[in-house]
Homo-oligomer: A and B are copies of this chain.
Amino acid sequence: MPDNSPQVKLEGVKRLGGTIFPCEPTAEARVATCAQVQRETGATLIHPFDNAQIIAGQGTVGLEILAQHPHVTRILVPLGGGGLLGGIAVAVKSKAPHVQVIGVEPEGAAEAWVALERGHVTPLADGAHSIAEGLLVTIGQRNFQIVRSMVDRIITVSDQEIAAATRQLVTRARLIVEPSGATAVAALTRYPELSGDTVCVVSGGNVDLSRLMKIIAAE
């Protein structure tokens, strides 16, 4: 785990019996540390998003949305590695192809949006920057293929819009949500035409209260 992970995330892993191997908060360090742990311990890698079973598991979110809100016409999903978006797209398009599935990326980490334009995935030249640090990963290859064939659209939101949506979810919906989890709601500010029978997926909530206060105060 990146050594700047929120305390609540570290505590959650420990509570579930996990052993934490810290690393620097860069993609290179993550990959290198992960490979080293595999070598030293014989552990099997389960990729957090570029893995067929993880994608399928996250797709159950789509099935739940269809079951609980059958009249939904549009689903907005935060987009980072693309597992959640990809899984929801596969599930929803197989059951209800008329329902729009839209991915929402931070402007400063719009790798999937750029990848769709270019037709292939390449890291951003200037790196990825956003308060939505859970989305600062490059979309997986499997996820990119799914997104390209099944997702209707990718849109972007600014950090300011993300902070405003986080504040709204905290003060109005009384949810503890990290900025990454608020991106889909942020999209409704920039694109009001997307509201209606729309479901915004709010995931996740790994944020320390002290940081949450700062985000809300700064907005």
**Residues in A lying within 8 Å of B, measured CB to CB:** 8, 11, 170-171, 174-177, 205, 209-210, 212-213, 216
Contact = CB atoms under 8 A, between A and B. Distances in A.
Contact of A174 (B11, B176, B216): B176
Contact of A170 (B176, B177, B213): B176
A213 B213 CA distance: 10
Contacts of A176: 170, 174-176
Given A8-B171, A209-B209, 15 more contacts: A11-B171, A170-B176, A170-B209, A174-B175, A174-B176, A174-B177, A174-B205, A175-B175, A175-B176, A176-B176, A209-B212, A209-B213, A209-B216, A210-B213, A213-B213
Nearest to A174: B205
A20 to B, nearest CB: 17
Nearest to A210: B213
Classify the interface of chain A: helix, strand, loop or mixed: helix
A183 B174 CA distance: 17
Contacts of A210: 213
Contacts of A209: 170, 209, 212-213, 216
Contacts of A213: 209-210, 213
A171 to B, nearest CB: 6
Nearest to A202: B174
A170 B207 CA distance: 11
A174 B181 CA distance: 12
A157 to B, nearest CB: 21
Q: Which 10 A-B pairs have the closest CB atoms?
A: A174-B205, A174-B176, A209-B213, A209-B209, A176-B176, A8-B171, A174-B175, A170-B176, A209-B212, A210-B213
Among A11, A170, A174, A213, max chain B CB count under 10 A is at A174
A113 B212 CA distance: 38
Nearest to A208: B213
Nearest to A205: B174
